[in-house]
């Protein structure tokens, strides 16, 4: 079953408890039309089986170049030159380009190589938890969970301690949907510019 009328998920009620909303959507059907704050409409697929079928469908594409003029005028994508520099990556490519890029990282993120990092990941987790043991109370997300992925990824890709410490968590907000007419667009562009400068510095110094 497909719900055609677009729904708005970006409201306070949804953010407070998205799980009930997703559960209700799954009960109503597998595919739902949603409307983003920018005005762009998209499709939300719920349920594992439906997601697998969608991802494997030969007509489903990820490359932003395939979007129409109306979509490009409203979509929450990065402006140039950041879009070309930062979003023309593996996750936004289709075969054969996707296949070629994926070949470069298969060994780096292979199960056997990641398994060799298990002990190192445990040590990183212990180091992050140690300062929290005697503080009385802490924010487990901000003080531990939010820091762990970056520290682990830094180990996997060989990011130096210096560059790891210079990374600002606020830069992660560049993946949030901020359309070209959104009032937050200027702040978004500022973060995006900072992130690109950081990445350029890492590349130059590596």
- Tell me, what's the pLDDT at 126? 96
Report the 10 Å Cβ neighbour count for 73: 14
Mean pLDDT of the chain: 87
DSSP alpha helices (H): ranges in the chain? Answer: 12-16, 18-28, 48-56, 69-74, 82, 97-105, 111-116, 118-129, 140, 148-157, 161-166, 185-205
Going by their DSSP bridges, the two strands 41-45 and 31-35 should be labelled as: antiparallel
Which one, of 137, 142, 130, 60, lies nearest residue 94 by Cα? 60
- Tell me, what's the pLDDT at 124? 94
**Does the structure show a pLDDT above 80 at 123?**
yes
**Tens-digit pLDDT profile for residues 1-42:** 555 778 888 778 888 888 888 888 888 889 999 888 777 888
Task: Report which DSSP code applies to 73.
Answer: H
**Tens-digit pLDDT profile for residues 133-190:** 888 889 999 899 989 999 998 988 889 989 999 999 899 888 887 888 888 889 999 9
Which one, of 86, 91, 92, lies nearest residue 194 by Cα? 86
DSSP string, 11-43: SHHHHH-HHHHHHHHHHH-SEEEEE-TTS-EEE
Is the whole-model pTM more than 0.75? Answer: no
- Tell me, what's the pLDDT at 3? 55
**Does the structure show a pLDDT above 90 at 201?**
yes
- Tell me, what's the pLDDT at 199? 92
């Amino acid at each position: 079953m497909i719900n055609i009328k677009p729904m708005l998920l970006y409201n306070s009620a949804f953010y407070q408890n998205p799980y009930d909303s997703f559960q209700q959507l799954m009960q109503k059907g597998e595919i739902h039309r949603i409307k983003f704050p920018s005005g762009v409409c998209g499709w939300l697929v719920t349920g594992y089986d439906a997601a697998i079928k969608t991802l494997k469908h030969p007509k489903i594409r990820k490359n932003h170049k395939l979007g129409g003029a109306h979509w490009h005028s409203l979509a929450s994508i990065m402006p140039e030159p950041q879009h070309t520099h930062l979003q023309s990556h593996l996750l936004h490519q289709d075969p054969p380009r996707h296949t070629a890029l994926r070949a470069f990282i298969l060994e780096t993120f292979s199960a056997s190589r990641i398994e060799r990092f298990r002990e190192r990941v445990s040590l990183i987790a212990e180091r992050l938890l140690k300062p929290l043991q005697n503080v009385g109370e802490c924010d487990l997300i901000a003080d531990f969970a939010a820091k762990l992925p970056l520290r682990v990824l830094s180990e996997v890709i060989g990011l130096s301690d210096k560059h790891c410490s210079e990374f600002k968590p606020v830069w992660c907000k560049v993946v949030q949907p901020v359309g070209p007419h959104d009032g937050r667009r200027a702040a978004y562009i500022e973060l995006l510019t900072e992130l690109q400068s950081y990445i350029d510095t890492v590349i130059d110094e590596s």
